[in-house]
């Protein structure tokens, strides 16, 4: 897919991985809707940066775990851009809880993690399908994590939610082909505001990674560009972890 003239929606697009993907798509000529739930300032800044580069952009507030808000968001994108060709589900939440501390993983934390990371991804995919099909198809990219394959992550709930995203991706790839391709990116440790307060954890990952560094958000954006452009790739999990998981 050539991104020029296409319309994209990036959930969680104001910060970290989502922001890097939003900026990379804009550089290729795609209009970008930057979704946010709480990071309003960052989303507005990202959207303005894209507009300043001469590309159409808007920031949209929506909690992806709420189906009605997701449908309203998709409708706003279509009203603004006239179409939707690319969806990136980057919105996510986590709570750092050691795996062995089972009692600290409360029902509230479990439900919120699943609601945003897994249910929200499904809601956004489902809502985007009619708009994509009306213009001949599209590309969906879900951001998972190597935690979804290893079971090692910020919490058991987070790892389980990201494993669910991988399974969801494969199911949707079958269900929506050939018009819509659905793929997953599974990053390892990424420099972000989530990990900014964990310098020792970061150093540990650097030393254990064959590439001897952790990922930057731009590394994930490069993988997203590959998946959008590759018209024959669907149902795949692209691991971007510098070789950490081999």
Name the catalytic one among 36, 81, 122, 158: 158
Pairing of strands 237-240, 180-187: parallel
170 token code pair: 């494969």
Give me the helices (H) in the chain, please.
16-27, 40-52, 67-81, 107-114, 120-134, 147-150, 156-176, 199-208, 217-229
- The owner of tokens 């990036």 is 10
Check: CB of residue 8 under 8 Å from CB of residue 32: yes
∠ CA 166-169-170, nearest 5°, is 95
- Beta strands (DSSP E) in 73-124 are 86-89
- Say whether 36 is catalytic: no
Residue 76 sits at φ, ψ, to 5 deg, of -65, -40
The span from the CA of 37 to the CA of 15, in Å, is 11
Rg (CA), the chain: 17
Q: Choose among 211, 121, 232, 133: nearest CA to 169.
A: 121
45 half-sphere exposure, CB direction, 13 A CA radius: 9
- What amino acid positions are annotated as catalytic residues? 158
């Amino acid at each position: 897919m050539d991104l020029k003239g296409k319309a994209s929606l990036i959930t969680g697009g104001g910060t970290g991985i989502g922001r890097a993907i939003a900026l990379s798509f804009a550089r290729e000529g795609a209009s970008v809707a930057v979704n946010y739930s709480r990071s309003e300032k960052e989303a507005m800044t990202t959207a303005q940066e894209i507009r300043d580069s001469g590309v159409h952009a808007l920031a949209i507030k929506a909690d992806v775990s709420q189906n009605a808000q997701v449908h309203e968001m998709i409708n706003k994108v279509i009203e603004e851009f006239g179409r939707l060709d690319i969806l990136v589900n980057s919105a996510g939440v986590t709570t750092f809880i050691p795996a062995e501390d089972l009692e600290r993983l409360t029902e509230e934390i479990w439900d919120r993690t699943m609601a945003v990371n897994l249910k929200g991804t499904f809601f956004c995919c489902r809502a985007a399908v009619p708009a994509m099909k009306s213009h001949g198809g599209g590309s969906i990219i879900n951001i998972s994590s190597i935690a979804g394959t290893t079971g090692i992550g910020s919490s058991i709930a987070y790892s389980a939610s990201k494993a669910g995203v991988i399974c969801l991706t494969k199911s949707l790839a079958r269900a929506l082909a050939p018009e819509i391709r659905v793929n997953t990116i599974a990053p390892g440790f990424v420099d972000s505001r989530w990990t900014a307060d964990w310098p020792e954890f970061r150093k540990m990952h650097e030393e254990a990674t064959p590439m001897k560094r952790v990922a930057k958000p731009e590394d994930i954006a490069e993988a997203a560009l590959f998946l959008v452009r590759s018209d024959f790739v669907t149902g795949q999990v692209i691991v971007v972890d510098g070789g950490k998981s081999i």
